[in-house]
């Protein structure tokens, strides 16, 4: 650098001659000179001039560097451009660029220096790649010389001059070049405080070198690279450790652990190569190889010679003996595993652990290997990696075999035998291992090896016969299971046993025979979910959280006490996982010994699905739960500890039972009805000669039919037989001999019963005195009128299985309701009987009779009914009418009995004659005493009545007979042989057609003599136009107050004298029963006058009054000006 030096001289001169002003040419930039003032003078100018001088100097220096370096770089680039020319040498170029790097390094520009090396690195790499692609450079062939020395990286010196010289001399090998390059990079990186990048780059470098040697097809003695890599790894690690403190290293394990693991790997392969891992130790060939390898290391470098733990020493020691190797290898492995674990790289740690396990296995120390294998396997199982699982299991099996853990080995073998990732041969081998063990006589007889079933065979489905899984005591139950054998070969199984747990649930309705047979309906097939063994079910099968809000309020004031979130399915989430790891452990499975077992012996399980049928005879009633499934092969037992979903079958015992029920909804009295007898035999066996003894009820007949047959069904409703029913009847007892039937069968037969009809209590006046009273339960019902009257018949039945008799009540309904009415036409009397069919059936009525039970000769009942046969349809009525004729004085009352024969209309011919239906009733006071006639006349001079105008109403009451027996009551007064009675009339218009003006009622004294007539005149006003019915005229008996009779009547019958308020029950139907109650009409204020002697009113029985004008109508025409009509009604 002559120019630079020249400038320096110039400057010095300038300093020396401070006073002088010099102008100098300084390059082409036009900066000629610098003016400096005397520095001893303390003036601002001086200061300024010096500052300017220094600034300028700095700028110029930099410019000079830039210019020179730029020129250097240009030259270098030119050199690089020539790289395609023959004769170009990388080493030469290397030296040039490194010079630049040195300059930067000197200038403390480490970053820039590093860039130079990185460029060289990249250039070289590119050449190697191109060489691999066939684009070879001549100079590169030099690097392809065989590797003779593999003494690792040297990072302790800033510049490895030895290697540099060899590069300069173009004698360096690829490894030399790489080593040198990396050592320089490492030095710079450490200057830059980036030790972790060193570690990272080192790993890359090592991988890269191995690749490059391969690519360049450099011949490398076996193990040489391993040595080189091992040494380099340790060298890098020690170098980093040398410049960092402990805490820094600990927190950056992630960067260095790769090197540790790589070193471990390499040491392992060296160990295998040199026969240091085998049991017997190295043979001569191994020793030779070791010697060769050690030779390649050369002598230890002086800078590490004093270090005890230098990589060189370590390697040399490790290769020197089996023990030393083991020590070093274990140290490294443990350190690596520890580091991996500490940074959470569990999988990597397990993987190194597996290598370690392999090493232990080689060293015949399976007990040490096992823990690593188990750990790794657990990890793979948890994440469901099938191939690693299989591989690790295989290793584990070997380990367990060596350890003599028979159960574990057999279990692993069974898992492997069912593993589809293994070849058929391997699977057969492991299967055979199990079978061999099973077949060899065990030392202690009875000793069982219990293994989980899953790997051996899987339970696919289960099928019950009978399909509802309910069987009676003594019945046979079949259980068919499908087992899917996982073994590659057919396996002969001595026995397959299902342990059954038995529980009795007494007093539970759910366990009764009825409930079980009716409700437990299923198809009897239970499917078991297939095992998802290789899947990590633990994570993805977890159900989602079911969270709910929860508020708890205080009961008193409804204020919020607590609130929170409840997880409803906590039992699902927190339940112990059926972790796969536990499957590997032999412990969990315990053989249950129960009293109840289902057994199936000597089965050969083919690979794939197998059907196995268990047969059992039910003994005790209760619930049986299938718990465990065991298959025994010799002394090996495969156990499925829990059968899930829960499989149960029920055994029940049933008491014999008799049910009697009508076939129809309800039984009808009077006609034959079918009744079904159901005998559930239960545990009782019906023997020949067993019979049901029915004690006959009086009013109920059991009709014996010759052709009646009994059906016998099995419990599952399959018909098993039928037999004729023999029925013997005597006066008291009907005996039905049952057909022979085994236990748990059902006998069904039907019988016809007939409830003898008896006239039910009906009719108003008669209270059924002296009648054959049937069992009347529903007195209320019959009064409501729409329900049928029912009769209960109790039958007591003696069953052969019990000493107690069963009492059965059969309820019969009377299909008819009968009402009667007395009709009058003047003095002629008619009796009408209405028969109403309440049932759903149609009947044929025949032979209707009405007879007078008192047998009075002068009374005649003339039927007006023409047809003798008459159909009566469901819910319809039929009326019968008789005319009542008498010759002499009619009796005050009449007792009648109505009877009609009936038979169901549908049936053509009945085997027995049916009793007729009868109805008795009493009619009293049927003779007409008074004739009431009302007439309305228009006002005089008018042709028609008009609305609003007063019309005259004339009522004439005529006595039709002389004194009769019925007249003799307290109203009768006698004076001079003449009898008279007091009557009260009343004109009421309920339909408000008429306004009655003036008094509407009055008391008259009626002579008791034929044709005595009383006329009453009053005025009424029509309120509407049209044909209006006449107002009603009612007649009452007016009884004086002082009578002995009056005490019987209650106070309600007292009426006020003038303002008569008569009960105005509208429709005066000729119902005698209602009339009677109507007689005791009340007044509104009767309670006030209680105790006062008041006259009473008594309605005349309907038969005694005949209203001859009832039904007549009067024409009323509208008035002209009805809009001014004013009506006042009092």
Partner 1 sequence: MAVCIAVIAKENYPLYIRSTPTENELKFHYMVHTSLDVVDEKISAMGKALVDQRELYLGLLYPTEDYKVYGYVTNSKVKFVMVVDSSNTALRDNEIRSMFRKLHNSYTDVMCNPFYNPGDRIQSSGSVSLSRAFDNMVTSMMIQVC
Report the residue from 347, 363, 596, 726 that binds partner 1 according to the rule CB under 8 A.
347
Distance (Å, whole) CA 389 – CA 402: 20
Contact 296, 148 (CB under 8 A): yes
Encoded tokens for 839: 């049932």
* 480 Cβ contact partners less than 8 Å away, ≥ 6 residues apart: 462, 463, 465, 611, 612, 613, 614
Give the largest CA-CA distance in the chain: 195
Piece of 207-215, 430-438, 692-700, 729-737 that binds partner 1 (CB under 8 A)? 207-215
Nearer to partner 1, 379 or 632 (CB): 379
Distance (Å, whole) CA 626 – CA 644: 9
Interacting residues with partner 1 between 856 and 875 (CB under 8 A) = none
Instruction: Report residue 527 CA to chain centroid gap.
Output: 17
Report the residue from 152, 353, 388, 948 that binds partner 1 according to the rule CB under 8 A.
388
Encoded tokens for 22: 């010099």
Element (H, E) at 213: helix 195-215
CB atoms within 10 A of CB 330: 15
Nearer to partner 1, 147 or 746 (CB): 147
- 3-state secondary structure at position 595: coil
242 touching partner 1, by CB under 8 A: no
Nearer to partner 1, 192 or 215 (CB): 215
Q: How far is the CB of 421 from partner 1 (least distance, A)?
A: 9
- DSSP string for 867-902: -SEEEE-TT-EEEEEEEEEESSSPPSEEEEEEEEEE
Contact 842, 874 (CB under 8 A): yes
Q: How far is the CB of 210 from partner 1 (least distance, A)?
A: 5
Please choose, from the candidates 463, 451, 369, 375, the residue with its C-alpha nearest in 3D space to the C-alpha of residue 414.
451
Nearer to partner 1, 115 or 215 (CB): 215
Q: What are phi and psi of 306, to 5 degrees?
A: -90, -10
Contact 775, 793 (CB under 8 A): yes
Please choose, from the candidates 192, 239, 201, 199, the residue with its C-alpha nearest in 3D space to the C-alpha of residue 118.
201
Nearer to partner 1, 159 or 254 (CB): 254
Piece of 380-388, 425-433, 888-896, 1033-1041 that binds partner 1 (CB under 8 A)? 380-388
Nearer to partner 1, 354 or 1037 (CB): 354
* 787 Cβ contact partners less than 8 Å away, ≥ 6 residues apart: 778, 781, 838
211 touching partner 1, by CB under 8 A: yes
Size of the site for partner 1 (CB under 8 A): 32
Interacting residues with partner 1 between 132 and 191 (CB under 8 A) = 132
Cβ density class 517-527: b for 16+ within 10 Å, e for less: beebeeebebe
Nearer to partner 1, 67 or 207 (CB): 207
Report the residue from 184, 255, 328, 345 that binds partner 1 according to the rule CB under 8 A.
345
Nearer to partner 1, 348 or 947 (CB): 348
Nearer to partner 1, 9 or 544 (CB): 544
Nearer to partner 1, 130 or 1061 (CB): 130
Nearer to partner 1, 336 or 819 (CB): 336
Element (H, E) at 12: helix 2-16
348 touching partner 1, by CB under 8 A: yes
Report the residue from 391, 596, 777, 1014 that binds partner 1 according to the rule CB under 8 A.
391
535 touching partner 1, by CB under 8 A: yes
Nearer to partner 1, 146 or 344 (CB): 344
Report the residue from 44, 284, 444, 540 that binds partner 1 according to the rule CB under 8 A.
540
Piece of 324-332, 532-540, 769-777, 1037-1045 that binds partner 1 (CB under 8 A)? 532-540
What's the chain's length in residues? 1130
Report the residue from 10, 69, 103, 215 that binds partner 1 according to the rule CB under 8 A.
215
Encoded tokens for 342: 């500490």
351 touching partner 1, by CB under 8 A: yes
344 touching partner 1, by CB under 8 A: yes
E-assigned strand segments in 730-827: 733-737, 745-755, 790-798, 805-813, 816-825
129 touching partner 1, by CB under 8 A: yes
Q: How far is the CB of 215 from partner 1 (least distance, A)?
A: 6
Kindly write out the interface string for residues 489-528 of this chain, putting x where it contacts partner 1 by CB under 8 A and - elsewhere.
----------------------------------------
Cβ density class 302-322: b for 16+ within 10 Å, e for less: eebeeeeebbbebbbebbeeb
Q: How far is the CB of 620 from partner 1 (least distance, A)?
A: 47
Interacting residues with partner 1 between 72 and 111 (CB under 8 A) = none
207 touching partner 1, by CB under 8 A: yes
Nearer to partner 1, 129 or 1010 (CB): 129
Q: How far is the CB of 277 from partner 1 (least distance, A)?
A: 20
- The C-alpha angle 831, 832, 836, rounded to 5 degrees, equals 150
E-assigned strand segments in 788-929: 790-798, 805-813, 816-825, 828-837, 843-852, 859-863, 869-872, 877-886, 893-904, 917-924
Please choose, from the candidates 835, 820, 832, 919, the residue with its C-alpha nearest in 3D space to the C-alpha of residue 876.
835
Kindly write out the interface string for residues 244-283 of this chain, putting x where it contacts partner 1 by CB under 8 A and - elsewhere.
----------x---x-------------------------
Distance (Å, whole) CA 1039 – CA 1095: 6
Instruction: Report residue 184 CA to chain centroid gap.
Output: 72
- 3-state secondary structure at position 199: helix
Nearer to partner 1, 232 or 737 (CB): 232
Distance (Å, whole) CA 899 – CA 901: 7
674 backbone φψ class: left, alpha, beta (φ>0; ψ -120 to 50):
beta
Report helix angle 322-342 to 346-362, nearest 10: 160
Report the residue from 8, 342, 522, 539 that binds partner 1 according to the rule CB under 8 A.
539
Interacting residues with partner 1 between 591 and 610 (CB under 8 A) = none
Report the residue from 153, 167, 203, 814 that binds partner 1 according to the rule CB under 8 A.
203
Nearer to partner 1, 348 or 1072 (CB): 348
Piece of 336-344, 648-656, 769-777, 869-877 that binds partner 1 (CB under 8 A)? 336-344
Report the residue from 383, 546, 840, 907 that binds partner 1 according to the rule CB under 8 A.
383
21 touching partner 1, by CB under 8 A: no
Piece of 169-177, 203-211, 950-958, 1048-1056 that binds partner 1 (CB under 8 A)? 203-211
Q: Is 1083 exposed, middle or buried (0-12, 13-18, 19+ CB in 10 A)?
A: buried
Q: How far is the CB of 549 from partner 1 (least distance, A)?
A: 29
Distance (Å, whole) CA 963 – CA 971: 13
Report the residue from 48, 74, 135, 204 that binds partner 1 according to the rule CB under 8 A.
204
Element (H, E) at 460: strand 457-465
Piece of 198-206, 694-702, 964-972, 989-997 that binds partner 1 (CB under 8 A)? 198-206
Report the residue from 77, 82, 214, 568 that binds partner 1 according to the rule CB under 8 A.
214
Nearer to partner 1, 384 or 815 (CB): 384
Report the residue from 96, 287, 346, 808 that binds partner 1 according to the rule CB under 8 A.
346
Nearer to partner 1, 267 or 736 (CB): 267
Nearer to partner 1, 206 or 500 (CB): 206
Which residues are near partner 1 by CB under 8 A?
129, 132, 203-204, 206-207, 210-211, 214-215, 254, 258, 340, 343-348, 351, 380, 383-388, 391, 535-536, 539-540
């Amino acid at each position: 650098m002559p120019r630079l030096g020249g400038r320096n001289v110039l400057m010095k001169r300038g300093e020396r001659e401070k006073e002088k002003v010099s102008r100098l040419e300084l390059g082409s930039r036009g900066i000629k000179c610098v003016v400096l003032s005397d520095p001893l003078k303390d003036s601002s100018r001086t200061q300024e001039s010096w500052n300017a001088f220094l600034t300028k100097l700095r700028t110029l220096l930099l410019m000079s560097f830039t210019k020179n370096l730029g020129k250097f770089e240009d030259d270098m680039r030119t050199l690089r451009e020539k790289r395609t020319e023959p004769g170009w040498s990388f080493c030469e170029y290397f030296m040039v660029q490194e010079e630049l790097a040195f300059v930067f390094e000197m200038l403390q520009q480490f970053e820039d220096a590093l860039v130079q090396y990185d460029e060289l690195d990249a250039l070289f790499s590119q050449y190697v790649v191109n060489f691999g692609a066939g684009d070879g450079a001549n100079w590169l062939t030099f690097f392809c010389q065989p590797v003779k020395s593999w003494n690792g990286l040297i990072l302790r010196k800033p510049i490895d001059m030895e290697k540099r010289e060899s590069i300069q001399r173009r004698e360096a090998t690829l490894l030399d070049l790489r080593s040198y390059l990396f050592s320089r990079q490492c030095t710079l990186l450490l200057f830059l405080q980036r030790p972790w990048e060193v570690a990272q780059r080192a790993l890359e470098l090592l991988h890269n070198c191995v690749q490059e040697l391969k690519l360049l097809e450099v011949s490398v003695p076996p193990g040489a690279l391993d040595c080189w890599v091992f040494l380099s790894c340790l060298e890098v690690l020690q170098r980093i450790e040398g410049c960092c403190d402990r805490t820094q290293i600990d927190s950056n394990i992630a960067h260095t652990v790769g090197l540790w693991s790589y070193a471990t790997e390499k040491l392992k392969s060296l160990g295998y190569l040199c026969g240091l891992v085998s049991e017997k130790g190295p043979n001569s060939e191994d020793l030779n190889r070791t010697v060769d390898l050690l030779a390649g290391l050369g002598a230890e470098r002086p800078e590490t010679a004093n270090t005890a733990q230098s990589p060189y020493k370590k390697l040399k020691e490790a290769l020197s003996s089996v023990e030393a190797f083991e020590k070093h290898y274990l140290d490294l492995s443990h350190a690596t595993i520890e580091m991996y674990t500490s940074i959470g790289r569990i999988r990597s740690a397990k993987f190194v652990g597996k290598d370690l396990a392999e090493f232990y296995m080689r060293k015949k120390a399976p007990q040490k290997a096992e823990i690593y294998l188990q750990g790794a396997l657990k990890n793979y199982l948890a994440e469901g990696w099938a191939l690693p699982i299989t591989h690790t299991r295989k290793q584990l099996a070997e380990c367990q075999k060596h350890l003599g853990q028979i159960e574990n080995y057999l279990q692993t073998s069974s898992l492997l035998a069912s593993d589809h990732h293994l070849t058929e041969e391997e699977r057969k081998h492991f299967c055979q291992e199990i079978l061999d063990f099973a077949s060899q006589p065990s030392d202690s007889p009875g000793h069982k090896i219990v293994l989980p079933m899953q790997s051996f065979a899987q339970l696919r489905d289960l099928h019950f016969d009978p399909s509802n899984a309910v069987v009676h005591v003594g019945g046979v139950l079949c259980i068919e299971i499908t087992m899917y054998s996982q073994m590659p070969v057919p396996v002969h199984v001595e026995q397959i046993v299902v342990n059954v747990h038995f529980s009795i649930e007494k007093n539970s309705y759910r366990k009764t025979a009825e409930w079980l047979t009716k409700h437990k309906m299923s198809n009897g097939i239970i499917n078991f979910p297939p095992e998802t063994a290789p899947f990590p079910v633990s994570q993805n099968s977890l159900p989602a959280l079911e969270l709910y809000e929860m508020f708890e309020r205080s009961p008193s004031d409804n204020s919020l006490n607590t609130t929170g979130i409840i997880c409803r399915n906590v039992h699902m989430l927190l339940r112990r996982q059926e972790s796969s790891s536990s499957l590997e452990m032999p412990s969990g499975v315990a053989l249950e010994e129960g009293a109840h077992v289902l057994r199936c012996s000597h089965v050969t399980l083919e690979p794939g699905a197998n059907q196995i049928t268990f047969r059992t005879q039910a003994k005790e009633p209760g619930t049986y739960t299938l718990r465990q499934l065991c298959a025994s092969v010799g002394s090996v037992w495969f156990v499925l500890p829990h059968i899930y979903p829960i499989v149960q079958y029920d055994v029940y015992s049933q008491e014999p039972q008799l049910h009697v029920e009508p076939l129809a909804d309800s039984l009808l009295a009077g006609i034959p009805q079918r009744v079904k007898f159901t005998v559930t035999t239960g545990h009782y066996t019906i023997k020949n000669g067993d019979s049901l003894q029915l004690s006959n009820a009086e009013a109920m007949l059991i009709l014996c039919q010759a052709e009646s047959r009994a059906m016998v069904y099995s419990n599952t409703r399959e018909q098993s037989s039928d037999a004729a029913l023999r029925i013997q009847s005597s006066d008291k007892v009907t005996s039905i001999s049952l057909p022979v039937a085994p236990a748990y069968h059902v006998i069904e037969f039907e019988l016809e019963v007939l409830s003898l009809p008896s006239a039910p209590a009906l009719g108003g006046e008669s209270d059924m005195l002296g009648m054959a009273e049937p069992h009347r339960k529903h007195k209320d019902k019959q009064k409501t009128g729409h329900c049928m009257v029912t009769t209960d018949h109790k039958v007591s039945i003696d069953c052969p299985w019990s000493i107690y008799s069963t009492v059965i009540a059969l309820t019969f309904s009377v299909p008819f309701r009968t009402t009667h009415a007395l009709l009058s036409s003047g003095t002629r009397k008619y009796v009408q009987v209405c028969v109403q069919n309440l049932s759903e059936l149609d009947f044929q009525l025949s032979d209707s009779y009405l007879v007078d039970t008192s047998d009075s000769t002068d009374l005649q009942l003339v039927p007006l009914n023409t047809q003798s046969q008459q159909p009566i349809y469901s819910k319809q009525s039929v009326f019968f009418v008789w005319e009542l004729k008498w010759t002499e004085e009619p009796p005050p009352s009449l007792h009648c009995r109505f009877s009609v024969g009936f038979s169901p209309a549908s049936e053509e011919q009945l085997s027995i004659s049916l009793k007729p239906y009868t109805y008795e009733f009493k009619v009293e006071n049927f003779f007409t005493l008074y004739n009431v006639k009302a007439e309305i006349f228009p006002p005089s001079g008018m042709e028609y009545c008009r609305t609003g105008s007063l019309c005259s109403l004339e009522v004439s009451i005529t006595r039709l007979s002389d004194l009769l027996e019925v007249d003799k009551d307290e109203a009768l007064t006698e004076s001079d042989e003449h009898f008279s009675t007091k009557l009260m009339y009343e004109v009421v218009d309920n339909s408000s057609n008429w306004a009655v003006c003036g008094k509407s009622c009055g008391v008259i004294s009626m002579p008791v003599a034929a044709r005595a007539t009383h006329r009453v005149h009053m005025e009424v006003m029509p309120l509407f136009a049209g044909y209006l019915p006449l107002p009603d005229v009612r007649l009452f008996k007016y009884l004086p107050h002082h009578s002995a009779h009056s005490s019987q009547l209650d106070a309600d019958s007292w009426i006020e004298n003038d303002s008569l308020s008569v009960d105005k029950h509208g429709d005066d139907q000729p119902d005698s029963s209602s009339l009677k109650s109507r007689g005791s009409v009340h007044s509104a204020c009767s309670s006030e006058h209680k105790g006062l002697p008041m006259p009473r009113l008594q309605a005349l029985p309907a038969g005694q009054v005949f209203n001859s004008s009832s039904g007549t109508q009067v024409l009323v025409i509208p008035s002209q000006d009805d809009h001014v009509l004013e009506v006042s009604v009092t």
